[in-house]
Chains A and B, each alone.
Chain A
């Protein structure tokens, strides 16, 4: 392994390749800030450039830089403007945006940068050590387990709901799942629930819904009740995190790097589930007084999804490099780039082209490090975005919201849908319905139905639930997650009334 590491280092540390990383990180960060352009589309755009370079190591190093930059850029827009452009950064806006509203935008971005760096680096370390062994674990997961894993992910939304909110969160999740069924279905590609409208044939766009649920209501609230986005100049001074805060988030980062990485290893699960589960787990194991902070600007709540998200992105390279199976959209595009460069990922990669395998891993370390070094000094300037007067900022937020929806689908009907859903979302927000579960249900709904359908067909019925112990176990965990919060709430109420405790 040491020999491999050295091969990778010598490849990655040449001047040309270092410039590649820096260029990639900068391009990724700036384009990633535009909602609607996630890592997947940016990498797809950069592929012609990468291929024309001819050298697979340099191309991969450039793409890795773009990838990490894009993830960080996406976090920036969800933290500053509550406009998550990528599914994986939705969870970052839960606590990142409240922090920015409290005038701690600089601190939030710093925490995001550090958490991303730690998650990515620890993920790369784990990748180095476990890649060969993990490929066999990834194969153990069948469609039935994926289905169960997604049910667990959805049940974890109980974590987003405060006391007495579980039913509302449930409704919103089901509504998200219902919206995911609009369009051509998993089976036979029959159009469903399109009401004969052609534009609905491909279903609702994710970006459209994300913008309508988060960015638009937020902007409307700012219009309805004007208040400055930040309080004076305090945020720029409040940039560094204190030692106490570092101590508080360190265990979160440690746990979430591991958890995120292992979720990322499973093909198809990916960064989105990792970030939601990471948020939910951290919220549940936090002490009571810190639990109330979640959703209102908790540093732990920001660090958890950011770490898990990046660790999972690294984890998704395991099936790609060891089995040749892309686990996510982004890695699928990378697979295409690799094949175009005459490199075939798979079990033979480590034997045939060790310099490429190790160069990829090294480029992850270097990409993460360069990103941290480049972005930490930039943060005060990025945070300045919020100091723009609201008469200019709000039209621009609305414009980027619309642009994100338009670029993704190239369809003006999508913009009308966006405005319509935005109004509905604002009404839901007035009535105190949580909006995040709807989006989570929508994201996971399609994947969940696909896997459900696949296992139904493999087992010719519902039998897979009790024939596969792992599926049953995961579903039991899901049931506990749903019941536990209401049980706890009931118990707390009973205790408050002075009713004697049963046990």
Chain B
């Protein structure tokens, strides 16, 4: 079974779970006065779940043949590409999301930019460091001072 049909299977599961919630569990907590309304919060999701199940089945049962075409990246040979770099970058993004609040904007962002370049194979530290620091401070200044959106600059224990 090709990847697109596997994905259709997963999406079918999502639609079924969503449909189950819409048809059977959502209306339980509805207050009596709401039930007199012609439309309930579950009405639209009910319609959507049916549409979604039909569309996924359509793909799953292979009613629609799409002509095979040359993909930009062939997922069957994923190992031949720079998979390690991509996974590391994703992990770095997750780490950034987790560190942004506790470590403050300045430290986590400059670390993110430097490590990001490092993962991609850049080793010219004399360029990496200034670029990352200048960019971090410029963005922080723009967002915090010019636009007035608060971002904690430093870790909490340093008074940020």
The answer to whether A and B interact is yes
Residue numbers of A with Cβ under 8 A of B are 31, 37, 45, 162-168, 170-171, 174-175, 177-178, 181, 185-188, 190, 192-193, 220-221, 223-226, 389-392, 394-396, 398-399, 402-403, 406-407, 410, 412, 415-416, 418-419, 422-423, 427-428, 430-433, 449, 452-453, 456-457, 459-461
The yes or no answer to B23 lying at the interface (CB within 8 A) is: no
Are B66 and A171 in contact, CB atoms less than 8 angstroms apart?
no
Are A452 and B44 in contact, CB atoms less than 8 angstroms apart?
yes
Contacts of A422 in B (CB 8 A): 90
**Given A171-B8, A177-B48, A394-B116, 4 extra CB contacts under 8 A:** A167-B55, A190-B41, A193-B21, A225-B82
**Could you list 13 examples of A-B contacts with CB < 8 Å?**
A168-B66, A171-B11, A171-B52, A188-B41, A190-B29, A220-B86, A389-B122, A399-B112, A407-B149, A412-B100, A412-B101, A415-B93, A461-B38
Q: What distance in Å separates the Cβ of B134 from its nearest Cβ neighbour in chain A? A: 12
Are B73 and A168 in contact, CB atoms less than 8 angstroms apart?
no
The residue in chain B whose Cβ has the minimal distance to the Cβ of A397 is B116
Q: How far is B101's CA from A165's CA once the two chains are assembled, in angstroms?
A: 43
Known: A185-B41, A415-B93, A457-B37. A223 touches B82 (CB 8 A): yes
The residue in chain B whose Cβ has the minimal distance to the Cβ of A224 is B81
Taking residues whose C-beta sits less than 8 angstroms from the other chain, chain B's interface range is 35 or more
Contacts of A163 in B (CB 8 A): 66-67
Are A188 and B34 in contact, CB atoms less than 8 angstroms apart?
yes
Interface of A is mostly: helix
Interface of B is mostly: helix
Are A415 and B90 in contact, CB atoms less than 8 angstroms apart?
no
The residue in chain A whose Cβ has the minimal distance to the Cβ of B33 is A188
Are B113 and A223 in contact, CB atoms less than 8 angstroms apart?
no
The yes or no answer to B40 lying at the interface (CB within 8 A) is: yes
| One of B83, B94, B135, B139 near A419 (C-beta < 8 A) | B94
The yes or no answer to B7 lying at the interface (CB within 8 A) is: yes
**Contact code string B112-130 (vs A, CB < 8 Å = 1, else 0):** 1100110011100000100
Residue numbers of B with Cβ under 8 A of A are 2-4, 6-8, 11, 14-15, 18, 21, 26, 29, 34, 37-45, 48-49, 51-52, 55-56, 58-59, 63-67, 69, 71-73, 75, 78, 81-83, 85-86, 89-90, 93-94, 96-98, 100-101, 109, 112-113, 116-117, 120-122, 128, 131, 135, 139, 143, 147-150
Are A412 and B97 in contact, CB atoms less than 8 angstroms apart?
yes
| One of A187, A432, A456 near B4 (C-beta < 8 A) | A432
Are A430 and B75 in contact, CB atoms less than 8 angstroms apart?
yes
Q: What distance in Å separates the Cβ of B84 from its nearest Cβ neighbour in chain A? A: 10
Contacts of A396 in B (CB 8 A): 113, 135
Q: How far is B71's CA from A163's CA once the two chains are assembled, in angstroms?
A: 16
Q: What distance in Å separates the Cβ of B62 from its nearest Cβ neighbour in chain A? A: 10
| One of A170, A389, A415 near B97 (C-beta < 8 A) | A415
Are A457 and B39 in contact, CB atoms less than 8 angstroms apart?
yes
Q: How far is B58's CA from A164's CA once the two chains are assembled, in angstroms?
A: 12
